């Protein structure tokens, strides 16, 4: 057990989740990063977290598997005894026009990006209710706010996450738990590396793609410094959609 506060970040081995983990470690948190398959990336992230002075470990479980999630959360409690910040960040894309979208691609995206937030938040909320404190940040997307052609599955999942954010914010405020969402625009990670984004900068008022750290700073703000903010969706997109 430890005196430090604990953050659990799903999909924390790479990209935005990794940047959030490092940012919270810099702020003095111990960090558990969840991931599904990339052992090398997870080990590298844990090593970087430890270099920052955090107690950290990687928890390999599939966020779409309720039993696996419950076991993963129980392990965090056995090791650290509390969870102060949950970032529901794990996500995938399976883009394609709706006309040709298979049920498999629809369900994979809804399960990984939306149902996972239910599976993980469910046990974590019970823990935070006992603590009478906690912050949950859901990783949405501007696709969930505005919709994006070729991403009906992803837009639906992210819009669902935003609805869940607002409902939970209302349910949990009296228990000292805040729930917010971040809606990133185009961020340079493995998820976007194969997209044809040439020239997109011209359409972004701040004239650049986002870095994972741009999102991590927003997550840190909502987790640590936003004591009077709940139920909000913070767009971090360089002004792409105003
Ligand atoms: P990424 O680089 O592809 O990383 C995805 C992370 O999710 C990895 O850590 C991966 O683990 C994990 N993951 C995937 N499926 C999982 C599962 N079933 N169970 C557990 N972990 C799983 O993605 P990213 O760009 O950082 O995106 C992170 C979040 O931000 C996602 O929710 C995404 O929708 C959202 N977002 C991203 C952008 C963008 O432009 N990049 C924009 C808007 C929103 P492994 O390493 O083991 O594979």
Complete edge-to-edge strand list for the sheet that includes strand 85-88: 56-60, 30-35, 6-9, 85-88, 134-139, 177-184, 233-236
Alpha-carbon torsion angle 43, 48, 51, 55, nearest 10: -60
Residues counted in the chain: 242
Nearest CA to ligand 1 atom 41: 187
- Count of CB atoms within 10 A of residue 40's CB? 8
Q: Identify the H or E element spanning 99.
A: none
Per residue in 60-110, pLDDT (tens digit) is 999 999 999 999 999 999 999 999 999 999 999 999 999 999 999 999 999
* Cα(114) to centroid(ligand 1), Å: 12
Question: pLDDT digit string (tens) for 157-192?
Answer: 999 999 999 999 999 999 999 999 999 999 999 999
CA of 89 to the centre of ligand 1 (A): 6
> Among all chains, which residue has been given the structure tokens 């590298």?
44
Name the residue with the closest Cα to ligand 1, atom 9: 11
User: pTM for the whole thing?
Assistant: 0.98
Residues with CB under 6 A from ligand 1: 10-17, 34-38, 41, 62-64, 89-92, 112-113, 139, 141, 184, 186-187, 189-192
């Amino acid at each position: 057990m430890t005196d430090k506060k604990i953050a659990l970040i799903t999909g924390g081995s790479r990209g935005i989740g990794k940047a959030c983990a490092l940012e919270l470690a810099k702020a003095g948190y111990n960090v558990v990063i969840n991931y599904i398959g990339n052992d090398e990336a997870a080990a590298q992230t844990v090593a970087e977290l430890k270099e920052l002075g955090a107690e950290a470990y990687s928890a390999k479980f599939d966020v779409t598997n309720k039993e696996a999630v419950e076991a993963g959360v129980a392990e965090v409690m056995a090791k650290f005894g509390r969870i102060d910040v949950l970032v529901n960040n794990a996500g995938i894309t399976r883009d394609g026009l709706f006309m040709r979208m298979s049920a498999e691609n629809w369900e994979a995206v809804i399960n990984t990006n939306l149902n996972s937030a239910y599976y993980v938040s469910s046990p974590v909320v019970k823990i935070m209710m006992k603590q009478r404190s906690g912050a949950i940040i859901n990783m949405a997307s501007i696709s969930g706010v505005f919709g994006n052609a070729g991403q009906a599955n992803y837009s639906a999942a992210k819009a669902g996450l935003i609805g869940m954010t607002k409902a939970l914010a209302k349910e949990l405020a009296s228990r000292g738990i805040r729930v917010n969402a971040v809606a990133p625009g185009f961020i340079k990670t493995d998820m976007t590396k194969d997209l044809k984004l040439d020239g997109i900068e011209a359409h972004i008022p701040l004239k650049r793609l986002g870095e994972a750290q741009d999102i991590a700073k927003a997550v840190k703000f909502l987790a640590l410094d936003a004591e009077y903010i709940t139920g909000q969706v913070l767009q971090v997109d360089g002004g792409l959609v105003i």
